Amino acid sequence: MVTDVNDIEAILAITNTDVDGLIHTVKDNADALFTWDYEKGARPALNKLYEKAKVSQWNAETDLDWSTEVDPEKVSAEMARSDYRGQYVRRLMDAPDSPVAHWTDKDWSQYSVETVNHRVSQFLHGEQGALLCTAKIVETVPWIDAKYYAATQVMDEARHVEVFAKYLDTKLDGHYPISAHLQLLLDDIINDSRWDMTYLGMQVMVEGLALAAFGSMHQMTTEPLLKNLLRYVMSDEARHVAFGVLSLKEYYDGLSVSEIEERQEFAFESAIRMRDRFLQQEIWERLGVDARRMIPLLLAQAPEENEFQKKLFAKIVPNCRKLGLLDAGDGMLRKRFTEIGVIEFEHYVDTGEEYEALDELARDRATVGAA
């Protein structure tokens, strides 16, 4: 269990040791489950998601205009003007012993470019993690309705990997390897033998935070190709998180107190790893900034002022509340989310309801098909 979430040495001790390799191997301990109960629709909410997913498939090659000219510096400069984290970093110029105190306009421009490259790179790597995890869910979940839906998500995730890789390769100027914190979390999710932990780690935590991050970037940019790409991806992701919430709520109702406490601990540790991913370790290293000096300044920001962190957890906290994880047992998860300043989001709309509003593509395609 994480005790000190702001332990700098512990944060920096997590490093990516195989950045030069093309293959990363993780032991998958799960059993593949067959079910002979083929009754479709036994879980109506999951069946509804499956039906929506079937009419919401889009083609990355033909539904997006890849002929769009993109100026990476213009895109990054535009995002920098409304990026909460970037604005806070700029204010650190006046902090005592600040490592960015003497940055020039050129340095800030490069930081903005690197930030966009880093975020889109992590989107790409996270989507491959989702691809592997969802394939694992098809194997391990015992319900046929969940297997059906998860199979459609495998296709969604493959498409997301495709579009982010193509945008990085053809429209931006650089790639980043996977964040060590994201890699560690994905490894743990894949390594765990229990199917519901795959759901919790990927469908609720990683996908929930990703949905918030996509939404934030979608608001910050006017670049038409990226904006359209993100809108398509968000329509899929909202269903994915709803799938996790709907499936786990039924399952968690039957778990013991000790089993729920284990899920609470995993949810919080996952949240902290996702937070640490956005401390931008890799960017500071590339820009020649000592991360040991910069990260404490980022962590020192008051929770009530940390709009960047709040936005990222706006999806995770209400979903944990709907799953009963906030107050189960002694309310440990509520206490921990309070400590990091994100408990205020508990009554935001959970993604089990929100996907209806985001899934406009399904209605559009259904209308076209009927015509």
* Spatial separation of the C-alpha atoms in residues 158 and 54, rounded to whole Å: 15
What pLDDT, on the 0 to 100 scale, is given for residue 367?
45
pLDDT above 50 for 369: no
pLDDT at 366 over 50: no
- pLDDT tops 80 at residue 352: no
- Statement: residue 167 has pLDDT above 50: yes
What distance in Å separates the CA atoms of residue 90 and residue 170, rounded to the nearest whole number?
A: 29
Is the distance from CB of 271 to CB of 303 less than 8 angstroms?
A: no
Among positive and negative, which fits the CA dihedral 105, 110, 111, 112? positive
Q: What is the predicted pLDDT for the residue at 308?
A: 76
pLDDT of residue 351: 62
Cα–Cα distance for residue pair 178/127, rounded to 1 Å: 11
The 8-class DSSP code of residue 359 comes to -
H-type alpha helices, the chain: 8-13, 44-54, 72-80, 84-91, 105-140, 144-171, 180-191, 195-198, 207-220, 224-252, 257-277, 281-286, 291-299, 307-312, 316-322, 332-339, 351-358, 360-370
pTM: 0.90
Show Cβ contacts of residue 64 under 8 Å, excluding neighbours closer than 6 positions. Answer: 163, 225, 228, 229, 232
Report pLDDT for 15.
80
**pLDDT recorded at residue 350:** 65
Closest CA to 208 of 319, 129, 53: 319
- Average pLDDT on 31-56 reads 92
Contact 199, 249 (CB under 8 A): no
pLDDT of residue 8: 83
Chain-centre distance for alpha carbon 358 = 17
Does pLDDT of 321 surpass 50? yes
Task: Determine the pLDDT at residue 368.
Answer: 41
Give the Cβ contact number of residue 291 at 10 Å. 19
The residues spanned by each domain of the chain are 71-364
Question: What does the block give as tokens for 246?
Answer: 């709907």
DSSP 205: I
The second-level CATH assignment, the architecture, of 71-364 is Up-down Bundle (1.20)
Model confidence band, residue 154 (pLDDT cutoffs 50, 70, 90): very high
**Window from 108-112, 296-300, 305-309 with minimum mean pLDDT:** 305-309
Instruction: Tell me if 98 sits within 8 A of 158, measured CB to CB.
Output: no
- 3-state secondary structure string, 5-36? CCCHHHHHHCCCCCCCCCCCCCCCCCCCCCCC
Q: How many residues does the chain have?
A: 371
Task: Quote the pLDDT of residue 95.
Answer: 84
215-219 mean pLDDT:
92
Cβ atoms of 16 and 179 within 8 Å: the answer is yes
Range scoring the smallest mean pLDDT among 6-15, 28-37, 193-202, 335-344: 6-15
Q: Are 15 and 180 in contact (CB under 8 A)?
A: yes
**Tokens in use for 352?**
């089990």
155: pLDDT strictly greater than 90: yes
* pLDDT above 90 coverage of the chain, percent: 57
Lowest-pLDDT choice from 83-87, 171-175, 323-327: 83-87
CA distance 102 to 91: 12
Instruction: Give mean pLDDT, residues 17-35.
Output: 86
Cα–Cα distance between 51 and 164 in angstroms, integer?
26
pLDDT at position 290 over 70? yes
Distance CA 297, CA 311 (A): 19
Q: Measure the CA–CA gap between 128 and 132, rounded to whole angstroms.
A: 6
Q: What is the pLDDT of residues 354-365, one digit of tens each?
A: 666 666 554 454
**Residues of the chain above pLDDT 70, percent:** 93
> Please, what sign has the CA dihedral across residues 246, 211, 201, 327?
negative
Among candidate residues 315, 324, 325, the one with its CA nearest the CA of residue 358 = 315
Q: How far is CA 310 from CA 82, 240, 305, 325, in A?
A: 15, 21, 9, 19
Output the average pLDDT for the chain.
88
Could you give phi then psi for residue 333, rounded to 5 degrees? -70, -35
Instruction: Give me the mean pLDDT over the 267-295 stretch.
Output: 92
Tokens at residue 309, please? 């962190």
CA distance linking residue 172 with residue 21, whole number of Å? 22
